[in-house]
Amino acid sequence: MADIVLVHGAWHGSWCWRRVLPLLWAAGHRVVPVTLSGLGERAHQLSPAITLATHVADVVTAVRAEECADAVLVGHSYGGVVVTGAADRLGGEVGRLVYVDAVVPEPGDCWSTQNPPSVQAARRAAIAATGTIPPPPPSAFGLEGADGEWVARRQTPQPGGVYDDPLTFDAVRWAARPRTYVACTSPALPTIDPSRQLVRGQPGWEVVELATGHDPMVSAPEELAAVLLDVAGR
């Protein structure tokens, strides 16, 4: 049995893992879904004071509260930045890292770093106006119909203070960890392209492709669970 810690991406909450959780539980694993401050069922905590450091602390606190050992730490999308920072602080409390179509930062990067200038400008304008980044339509993640409506009802604005907050971490220690990247390719979300290219050009990565959109926990839960179960079983 493994401890599996799930960290959602921007605009989401722990609700997004609902279809994956039963599959991991059925295999006997202990699962810790983390909702980041100001999002999901914690949307009432939305505040200009929330930064990337806040979200890293959310994950560190959850892992330690559950007394996880050698946990599989999973980050989706923006959550890739968060789990990178959390793993740096947690040391041996975390084993393998799994990036689910996620941002893979380098030391000193912000979430914004890999975004093209047009996206940076639009998101910074939204932050200046409202303090938040509004969620995109679920169709951007390849979700239509009932799945798209389900996600649209649950998405919440992203705290703006996380966007340009740089992440400092020990790159050598991070590179020594086993890492799996789940690349979602149909349709591929353009803002994640730099990270998909990065992991294919760096040593030490296991890359798994899923022919689904950016939210595989919604659109391909069985396939994503199979990847996570494989990792957790090692």
Predicted pLDDT at 1 = 87
Q: Considering 14, 77, 195, 219, which one is annotated as catalytic?
A: 77
DSSP string for 96-134 = EEEEES-----TT--GGGGS-HHHHHHHHHHHHHHSEEP
Using one digit for the tens of pLDDT, what is the confidence trace for 43-100?
Answer: 999 999 999 999 999 999 999 999 998 999 999 999 999 999 999 999 889 999 999 9
Give residue for tokens 């960290």.
7
Q: Is 47 a catalytic residue?
A: no
pLDDT at 26: 97
CATH superfamily of the 3-232 domain? Alpha/Beta hydrolase fold, catalytic domain (3.40.50.1820)
CA distances from 109 to 80, 141, 221 (A): 12, 24, 30
Residues of the chain short of pLDDT 50, as ranges, are none
Element of type H or E holding 207? strand 205-210
- Burial classification of residue 30, based on how many CB atoms lie within 10 Å of its CB (0-12 exposed, 13-18 middle, 19 or more buried): middle
